[in-house]
Amino acid sequence: MKTICLYFEIHQIIHLKRYRFFDIGTDHYYYDDFENERTITDIAERSYMPALNALLDMIKANDQYFKVAFSLSGVGIEQLEMHAPQVLDKLQELNDTGCVEFLAEPYSHGLASLINEDSFEAEVKKQCQKIKEYFGQVPKVLRNSSLIYNDDIGLKASHMGFKGMLTEGAKHVLGWKSPHYLYHCNMAPNLKLLLRDVRLSDDVSLRFNNSEWDEYPLFADNYIGKIAALPEEEQVINIFMELSALGIAQPLSSNILEFLKAIPVCAKQAGINFSTPSEICAKMKSVAALDVPYALSWIDEERDVSSWLGNPMQREAFNKLYSVADRVRIANDSRINQDWDYLQASNNFRFMTTKNTGVAIDRGIYSSPFDAFTNYMNILGDFINRVNSLYPEDIGNEELNGLLTTIKNQGDEIEMKEKEIVRLQTKIAKIEAEDDKLRAMLDKGEVKTKAKRAIAKKVAQKQKASKRAIR
């Protein structure tokens, strides 16, 4: 039986403020709070809340038949906590239905997987902990930023214990193969791969409201008809998109939510069900390994990482940022860590792209890619100076790691000794209490009385024993 895996991404851009060269060393706050609040409030009102309400209605109306998956970046959750907590409340309500799965992803929605495995692992673990705190779920399936994937990333995900990953069903990787099967990482056969159906996903997220599209208007029965018409053996249809596609990319006036609500009804009539990513990984077998030597993503026609690392400016900023990755992780300073999460976000590098994709890029405050690069590098310069002020550059990472390990071990030893002191103090207090009780009994003569009674009892027992022996 065919099954639809529906997944939505929730991530919010952290807008940086205008930061000039002369601000370096004097201003350590890098963010445009007004723009961040305005943006997330607008998206929550126009997209997130109406879309989540529609999805909740779909679950309730279809008696556990309809299922959906989400991944939330850690920085996205932080923005929702500050400016739109009602979105998190609604997600918790969806979670309570038992028909929703939350996936793992890098906390920052960044590109650490392409350059620093330790940072990537730390980010994913941090986001998983956030998901567990909010929804009580331990993610079993990983979704990397923008579906970025290659063989090495798959191997790393497997070592981290994930059962599956989501990625793009890119033609240059699949070739003649179909995305409607379950595949596995060629370096880690135990890691299942769910591939996004590009056409079916983009029909909804990109083309739905395009009146010049030859399939406009798109109706739910026709959409499900495309899926039902696929060969019988093609059973996994992965439809992945950003949640903001519902309301922002495709305005509510286009009846996008009415279309969405009709999909489960039409799917049920066609004998098609819905599954979460972990359910598919657990129930279905992989048909083949997927060979992905170079990183792919779901961005632009190339489906690669050139949107973030395609020009010298982007690569310089990227390499400069991650030159301090190990030191940031080792230092583990709370304020540094927060800035590190925000500066890693992939949109910071996408603003610098010079690619001509035919689609206008909203660069926010930036007038050009060079403007975005200059502003980011000014901020990065200040950030790196702060990292170096904590731990001077002449201290190598290995030496620093050794020092911090020694400090940690000493701290652990002190903590153990403090616990031992508390235990001994408790024991002493107990002994002293027993001693005081015994002294009180002696003072009252209770001990002597009890001793006499014990002696008399023993004498009586001996007399009885003697009489029995004589008989």
Rg from Cα positions in the chain: 31
What is the pLDDT, as a whole number, of residue 38? 95
Residue 469, pLDDT above cutoff 60? no
Q: Is the pLDDT of residue 470 over 90?
A: no
What is the percent of the chain with per-residue pLDDT over 70, rounded to a whole number? 89
Residue written as token pair 């190598």: 396
Interval 219-278: pLDDT, tens: 999 999 999 999 999 999 999 999 999 999 999 999 999 999 999 999 999 999 999 999
**In the predicted structure, residue 411 carries a pLDDT above the cut 90:** no
Total residues belonging to the chain: 471
Q: Token pair for residue 224? A: 């499900």
For 299-343, the pLDDT digits (tens) are 988 999 999 999 999 999 999 999 999 889 888 899 999 999 999
Closest by CA position to 299, among listed 310, 288, 283, 291: 310
Top pLDDT among 226 and 453 is at 226
Per-residue pLDDT reduced to its tens digit, 79-89: 999 999 999 99
Q: Which two tokens stand for residue 107?
A: 């906390």
Q: What are 400-407's contacts with CB under 8 Å, separation 24+?
A: 400/327, 400/330, 401/326, 401/330, 404/330, 404/331
Check residue 466 and give its pLDDT.
Answer: 58
Looking at residue 447, its pLDDT comes to: 55
459 confidence band (pLDDT: 50, 70, 90): low
Mean pLDDT value across residues 2-17: 95
Domain limits, the chain:
3-307, 416-470
| Mean confidence (pLDDT) of the chain | 91
Q: Does residue 453 register a pLDDT over 90?
A: no
Residue whose entry in the numeric block shows the structure tokens 């009102």: 45
State the amino acid at position 189 in one-letter form: P
Q: Is domain 3-307 in CATH 3.40.50.300, yes or no?
A: no
